């Protein structure tokens, strides 16, 4: 029996929802634990969702959250407010990924647009997920 082909590295996507409130040390520890998991699995990953970690100034993030992102080498791709005014609201919904993905940039084309059915804006992005190569088995 001969196996031909190779498996692509996996991509992990995690979605986060954090209710509004003060950013606590328990939250930052849990967030840090979450970010450790894909690295231990040696996987590419993207973490996205409603983090509810606004900073003291509109359009900014809480510094404690930023510190956790930086500690794990993550890039935060959303730069436009996702709730309230597109020019002076808060950035609550985030898209995070490692800055140095081995197969090229995983996250690109991030946009934020107002929608009529939610108090949050719609965040979209393109994920550069490589196709999984088939594994071919031949018998001889």
* Partners of residue 96 on adjacent β-strands: 47, 76
Quote the pLDDT of residue 130.
67
The CA distances from residue 99 to 45, 119, 136, in Å, are: 11, 30, 33
Whether residue 17 contacts residue 49, with contact meaning beta carbons closer than 8 Å, is answered with yes
Quote the pLDDT of residue 117.
87
pLDDT tens for residues 44-58?
A: 889 999 999 999 998
Gap between the terminal Cα atoms of the chain: 6
Q: Which parts of the chain register pLDDT below 50?
A: 1-8
Cα–Cα distance, 82 to 121 (Å, whole number):
5
Would you say the pTM of this structure is higher than 0.75? yes
Report strand pairing: 122-127 vs 136-138: unpaired
Quote the pLDDT of residue 50.
95
Quote the pLDDT of residue 95.
96
Span 2-138: which CATH code? 3.60.10.10
């Amino acid at each position: 029996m001969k196996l031909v082909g190779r498996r692509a590295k996996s991509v992990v996507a995690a979605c986060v929802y954090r209710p509004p409130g003060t950013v606590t040390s328990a939250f930052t520890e849990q967030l840090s634990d979450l970010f450790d998991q894909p690295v231990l699995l040696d996987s590419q990953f993207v973490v996205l969702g409603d983090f509810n970690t606004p900073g003291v100034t509109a359009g900014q993030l809480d510094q404690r959250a930023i510190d956790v992102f930086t500690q794990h080498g993550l890039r935060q791709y959303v730069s436009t407010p996702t709730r309230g005014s597109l020019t002076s609201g808060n950035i609550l919904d985030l898209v995070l990924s490692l800055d140095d993905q081995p197969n090229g940039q995983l996250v690109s084309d991030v946009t934020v647009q107002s929608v009529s059915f939610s108090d949050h804006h719609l965040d979209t992005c393109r994920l550069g997920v490589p196709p999984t190569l088939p594994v071919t088995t031949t018998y001889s």
